[in-house]
């Protein structure tokens, strides 16, 4: 198997993590973390501690929502928060173009384009959360507080 740490998308995540806090590391998983359930099984943690990075399309821009693995993103709540009627899930091509990551490996950091980030308050239940690191087999562990700082995301009730 190719070296996941050599992948350009994973290197971008590593660079941001290192600049932020050198104790944060990318972990390579033997099995896929493509879904929150898969990641939780691989890490032996609660599904809720997995950060789902969901890209939403609005009228003419995008917004990244970081949601707890055991919750569903509420488009209705997001529409109210951003005060727009037209909000939908971005498609795979849009996700790749905006973030530089493929679905299943979308990290909350190191995106190609800067989009606003909303962080689901229900993630605060966990001291540590686990987020994708640019590849379906790579993740990083981070505290909820660090996640807010590193993403400069805004905490909201979005589930």
pLDDT reported for residue 52? 96
Model-level pTM? 0.95
Residues sharing a CB contact under 8 Å with residue 145, sequence separation 6 or more, in sequence order: none
pLDDT reported for residue 8? 95
pLDDT reported for residue 154? 98
Instruction: Choose among 119, 143, 127, 101: nearest CA to 10.
Output: 101
Residues 57-93: tens digit of each pLDDT: 998 899 999 999 999 999 999 999 999 999 999 999 9
Residues sharing a CB contact under 8 Å with residue 126, sequence separation 6 or more, in sequence order: 46, 48, 49, 144
* Helix (H) or strand (E) run with residue 151 in it: helix 144-151
Burial 4-21 (b: 16+ CB within 10 A, else e): beebebbebbbebbeeee
pLDDT reported for residue 1? 47
Domains detected in the chain: 4-154 (3.90.960.10)
Tens digit of each residue's pLDDT, the chain (159 residues)? 468 999 999 999 999 999 999 999 999 998 888 889 999 999 999 999 999 999 999 988 999 999 999 999 999 999 999 999 999 999 999 999 999 999 989 999 999 999 999 999 999 999 999 999 999 999 999 999 999 999 999 999 999
């Amino acid at each position: 198997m190719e070296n996941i740490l050599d992948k350009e998308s994973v290197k971008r995540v590593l660079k941001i993590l290192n600049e932020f806090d050198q104790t944060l590391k990318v972990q390579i998983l033997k099995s896929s973390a493509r879904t929150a359930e898969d990641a939780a099984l691989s890490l032996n943690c609660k599904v809720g501690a997995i950060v789902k990075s969901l890209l939403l399309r609005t009228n003419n821009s995008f917004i990244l929502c970081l949601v707890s693995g055991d919750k569903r993103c509420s488009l209705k709540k997001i529409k109210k928060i951003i005060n727009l009627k037209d909000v939908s899930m971005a498609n795979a091509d849009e996700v790749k173009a905006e973030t530089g990551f493929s679905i299943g490996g979308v990290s909350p950091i190191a995106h190609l384009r800067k989009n606003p980030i909303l962080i689901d308050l229900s993630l605060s239940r966990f001291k540590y959360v686990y987020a994708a690191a640019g590849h379906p087999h790579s993740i990083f562990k981070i505290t909820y507080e660090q996640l807010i700082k590193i993403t400069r995301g805004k905490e909201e009730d979005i589930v």
